[in-house]
Amino acid sequence: MSQPLTIHYHRDFDGMVSAAVLARVLSERERGDICWKSVNYDQREDWHNFEAGARFGIVDFHFHPRAEYWFDHHPTTFLSEELRARYLEAHDTPNDRWAWDENSPSCPPLILKHAIRHWGYQPEARFLEMARWSDVIDAARFESVDQAIFGDEPALRIMRALTVAPTIDWVDELVGAMVQADLAGVANRADVEKAHQRASRNRDRALEQFPPTVAWKKDKVLLYDASSSQIRRERFAPFYHHPDIHYSVGVIPTRSGFHVTAGENPWNSPHSVGLAGAHIGNLMERYGGGGHRSVGGANPHDLPAARKVAAEIAEELRRAILEARPHGAV
Ligand SMILES: [Mn+2]
């Protein structure tokens, strides 16, 4: 009897789908039991000793050299250069248990692709559907701000329900449901529906609370301060209330301090109107943060610092738009 293998996954929609897909695929490859459990960022502290002595896989989370199976799409997956080298070395020889593709919008499609190519897997239609929605959700490829905020498709109801997950174990239970059922089947569970209703009320409250947090809006850049813990947060609220902006920059609370977040409007990006715009991740690096071209963040040490950083970044983004504007145009 072989030791059970645990799939550790990132606790979000695409991480959950990744775990479900891998669990399903491995149920035909592995003789022992397959279990799954979400990981959190605190577990990176002692990453070297992670799950010492146990058999495990990791999906949608950091590379670990002892992972028997590992799939990720995050550019920041390697916690050290040494770990990156371990992965690259293994790839000099064919490795059919690990794959990384930082160009994949989400993690499940790369697991499916890998399983089809290396393990002769024939994907069930429901997993292809879950993978498609993972790309939409993880890369914020929603058709419209209305779909992002009010979308009623099963995947979007599950996504919203996750914002009010009552316990950590609940997420593991939903992965179990994804192994067995399609998205509609998971979304129609009574517990998911109940969580979705509660999350929708939170969303409505967050949309109401957003307008007074706006500090200013100039040249299609919006700066807001939602640092009060009394304010509920809806990620796309700035673009819902101000569909004309190219960028939003805000201060929000975290468990241990404050976070500066900045993002392009996915439905009115500077590029969509022919402007080069700025690289937000690079801007954030100046303040000890990071990110991608279109979205990024930083964690200044206190609230005054966070407000200052947010204002400076907003000004920088304004400048990027003004400089890109052709002469004479308004
Ligand atoms: Mn993820």
Whether 237 contacts 264, CB under 8 Å: no
Q: What does pTM read for this prediction?
A: 0.90
Distance 148 CA to ligand 1 centre (A): 17
Domain with 239, as residue range(s), is: 210-324
Ligand 1 center to residue 328 CA distance, Å? 44
CATH value at residue 229? 3.10.310.30
Q: How far is the CA of 61 from the centre of ligand 1 (A)?
A: 7
Q: Quick one: 253 and 279 in the same domain?
A: yes
Between the CA of 312 and the centroid of ligand 1 the distance, in Å, is 29
Tell me the mean pLDDT in the region 299-321.
97
13 Cα: distance to centroid of ligand 1 (angstroms): 7
Query: Residue 1: pLDDT band by 50, 70, 90 thresholds?
Result: low
Residue 140 covered by a domain = yes
Q: Same domain, yes or no, for 36 and 106? A: yes
Query: Ligand 1 centroid vs 284 CA: distance in angstroms?
Result: 21
Indicate if the pLDDT at residue 183 is higher than 50. Answer: yes
Do 38 and 167 belong together in one domain? Answer: yes
- 202 occurs within a structural domain: no
Based on the fold, state whether residues 101 and 39 are members of the same structural domain. Answer: yes
CA of 140 to the centre of ligand 1 (A): 12
Task: Give how many domains the chain has, as a whole number.
Answer: 2
Q: How far is the CA of 182 from the centre of ligand 1 (A)?
A: 19
Is 67 within 8 Å of 90 (Cβ atoms)? no
Task: Find the mean pLDDT for residues 146-165.
Answer: 97
C-alpha 315 – ligand 1 centre gap (Å) = 31
Residue 327, pLDDT > 60, answer no
330 pLDDT band, cuts 50/70/90, is very low
Q: Please give the pLDDT value at position 95.
A: 80
> Which pLDDT tens digit goes with each residue over 85-120?
999 988 777 788 999 999 999 999 999 999 999 999
Supply the mean pLDDT for the chain: 94
Residue 158 Cα to ligand 1 middle (Å): 14
| 72 in the same domain as 142 | yes
pLDDT band at residue 292, thresholds of 50, 70 and 90?
A: confident
102 CA → ligand 1 middle, Å:
12
pLDDT at 328 over 70: no
**Mean pLDDT throughout 147-169?**
96
Answer whether 227's CB lies under 8 Å from 251's CB.
Answer: yes
One-letter amino acid at 187 equals A
The pLDDT tens digits for 195-218 are 999 999 999 999 999 999 999 999
Could you tell me the distance, in angstroms and rounded to a whole number, from the CA of residue 107 to the centre of ligand 1? 7
For residue 9, report the distance from its CA to the centre of ligand 1, in Å.
8
Dump pLDDT digits (tens) for 27-65. 988 888 999 999 987 888 899 999 999 999 999 999 999
- Predicted confidence band of residue 291 (pLDDT cuts 50, 70, 90): confident
Q: pLDDT band at residue 259, thresholds of 50, 70 and 90? A: very high
pLDDT at 325: 67
74 alpha carbon to ligand 1 midpoint, in Å? Answer: 8
Cα–Cα distance for residue pair 204/183, rounded to 1 Å: 24
- Within this chain, do residues 293 and 164 fall inside the same structural domain, yes or no? no
Both 228 and 307 in a single domain?
yes
CA 73 to centroid of ligand 1, rounded, Å:
9
Report angle CA 18, 112, 291 to the nearest 5 degrees.
55
Mean pLDDT (whole number) for 253-260: 93
Helix (H, G, I), strand (E, B) or coil at 38: strand
CA distance 56 to 67: 6
